[in-house]
Amino acid sequence: MGAGLSLNNFSQATELKRRLWFTLGALIVFRFLSFVPLPGIDPIALQQQFETTRGGVLDFFNMFSGGALERMSIIALGVMPYITASIVIQLATSLHPTLAALKKEGESGRKKLNQYTRYGTVLLATVQGYFIAVGLENWGAQTGASAVVEPGLVFRVACVIALVGGTMFLMWLGEQITSRGIGNGISLIVMAGIVAHLPTSLANLFEGGRTGTMSPLLILAIVAGVVALIAGICFMERAQRRVLIQYPKRATARGGMQQDKSFLPLKINTANVIPPIFASSLLLMPLTIAQFAGQGAAAGDGAWSDFVLAITTSLQHGSPLYMTLYGLGIIFFCFFYTAVVFNPEETAENLKKYGGFIPGIRPGKNTEEYLDYVLTRITVLGAAYLTFICLVPEFAVAQAGIPFYLGGTSLLIVVNVTIDTVTQIQSHMLAHQYGDLIKKSKLKGGRR
């Protein structure tokens, strides 16, 4: 593969270059949009108010939006409403017979489910946008430094329309990257938001060492820990359990008998980066709304304000309750998403149809039970790996005051999406190489 993926082959792969340029252009558009503010916002007052909540849940959510929440841009909600709607639809397909039937209809069913996901995205973005608009109107009202120039119905309507439009555009942009670019568009948008803050976080880290606020040994330990995490993620993402599959003997050209065999690769982390993203979106969006609602309620009902404050405090990033719910969410979505993407019953049926079997296991029901048994065991390892990668560094982040962007969740997303994108680039280059070989063989055949 190394010889086939040379720079010379890359320069000749025009289709791949076109896809890469399209992906880069789409991500640049995403970054530009993160600097377009909502109408009626006072950026100076907003910055002052945001500084008072540094280190809270808003700062963590700001990481996934690429700084758009801090600037309160039109894409402040990011793609989280779309991800949350996807979770709801996927859960519904496992519980509702009608939606389960749609999933089995192939391309037409998939289009209908995607349409339902879009409707859910609009609904969620509208509700979340309204709460954010109300919260912005009251955020800092007690100190006389409101972030909204002219509060009222007009601002709320404009804010909701802008936020819903921004989220829907990002959803469309992600779909375009997936179909016309390289990699999964939604994952790349989330990764771009994280990577955009990495240089600043690293600069702040080393600046702390220069000014003496952080010891050089701690900085060295952080860098070594990040390198170890990246190496561990790369190793675990490529780890797999290979199940031997044999096929009936067939006659060869020399009159002998040959038995074909292959391997069914089962990844240790079948769910990829989906569980942390899903768990984060389910925790962050309600907490963000609660934080804005708490700011709005500060001047109103004292009981409601105390209730919201208690929720946001107990679920603060790095708190025991937050870490527990986050870990449970990761474990749940590991098993749920693995069950969605791999069906042992369907795999066993296909093996039986083509004459394949696992040595020592009877085809049919026994094969299905064996695959389910193996998949459950490796999913336990995958869930433990994801929980460790996401929780242990996040705990260190909360205790040592390390920048959020160097946490385990952000590193997992960046490394995972990078591996997936590089793999797709290699696939396109190999396809281009084999296409050239086929063309050359046809030309040689025609000359004869």
Q: Where are the domains of the chain?
A: 7-447
pLDDT mean over 199-213 = 78
Residue 141 has pLDDT above 70, yes or no: no
The superfamily in CATH containing domain 7-447 is SecY subunit domain (1.10.3370.10)
What pLDDT, on a 0 to 100 scale, did the predictor assign at position 353? 83
Give ∠ CA 249-250-252 in degrees, rounded to 5.
130
Q: Largest Cα–Cα distance of the chain, in whole Å? A: 92
What pLDDT, on a 0 to 100 scale, did the predictor assign at position 402? 59
pLDDT mean over 35-56 = 74
Strand partners of residue 146? none
What pLDDT, on a 0 to 100 scale, did the predictor assign at position 167? 93
What pLDDT, on a 0 to 100 scale, did the predictor assign at position 280? 78
88 band by pLDDT with thresholds 50, 70 and 90: confident
Query: pLDDT tens-digit profile of 388-426?
Result: 988 887 777 666 655 555 667 788 888 888 888 888 888
Least confident of 58-67, 84-93, 128-137: 58-67
What pLDDT, on a 0 to 100 scale, did the predictor assign at position 199? 80
What pLDDT, on a 0 to 100 scale, did the predictor assign at position 312? 66
Query: pLDDT tens-digit profile of 316-373?
Result: 766 788 888 889 999 998 998 888 888 888 888 888 888 888 888 888 888 889 999 9
What pLDDT, on a 0 to 100 scale, did the predictor assign at position 288? 64
Query: pLDDT tens-digit profile of 164-194?
Result: 999 999 999 999 999 998 888 888 998 888 8
Query: pLDDT tens-digit profile of 236-284?
Result: 888 888 888 887 766 555 655 566 778 888 888 888 888 887 887 777 7
Tokens of 403: 């920048």
Q: Which of 318, 280, 316 is nearest to 399 (CA)?
A: 318
What pLDDT, on a 0 to 100 scale, did the predictor assign at position 14? 80
Q: Which of 151, 200, 169 is nearest to 73 (CA)?
A: 169
What pLDDT, on a 0 to 100 scale, did the predictor assign at position 283? 78
What pLDDT, on a 0 to 100 scale, did the predictor assign at position 3? 43
What pLDDT, on a 0 to 100 scale, did the predictor assign at position 161? 94
Tokens of 169: 């555009």
What pLDDT, on a 0 to 100 scale, did the predictor assign at position 218? 80
What pLDDT, on a 0 to 100 scale, did the predictor assign at position 4? 44
pLDDT mean over 223-234 = 87
Q: What is the DSSP string of 360-379?
A: TS-TTHHHHHHHHHHHHHHH
Instruction: Answer with the residue of higher pLDDT: 399 or 213.
Output: 213
Average pLDDT, whole number, for the chain?
79
What pLDDT, on a 0 to 100 scale, did the predictor assign at position 401? 59
Do the beta carbons of residue 424 and residue 4 sit within 8 Å? no
Residue 73 has pLDDT above 70, yes or no: yes
Q: How far, in Å, are 26, 84, 332, 341, 348 from residue 103 at the CA level? A: 30, 19, 21, 12, 19
The Cα–Cα gap between 408 and 414 comes to 10
What pLDDT, on a 0 to 100 scale, did the predictor assign at position 410? 81
Tokens of 398: 């909360």
What pLDDT, on a 0 to 100 scale, did the predictor assign at position 292? 60
What pLDDT, on a 0 to 100 scale, did the predictor assign at position 379? 92
The Cα–Cα gap between 171 and 175 comes to 6
Q: Which of 120, 116, 121, 146 is nearest to 134 (CA)?
A: 146
What pLDDT, on a 0 to 100 scale, did the predictor assign at position 1? 42
What pLDDT, on a 0 to 100 scale, did the predictor assign at position 61? 66
The percentage of residues in the chain with a pLDDT greater than 70, rounded to a whole number, is: 75
HSE, CB side, 13 Å, CA atoms: give it for residue 391.
Answer: 21
What pLDDT, on a 0 to 100 scale, did the predictor assign at position 172? 93
Amino acid at 358: I
The Cα–Cα gap between 285 and 80 comes to 8
Assign residue 356 a region (left: φ > 0; alpha: ψ between -120 and 50; beta: otherwise): beta
Tokens of 52: 């008072």
Q: Which of 336, 215, 189, 399 is nearest to 391 (CA)?
A: 399
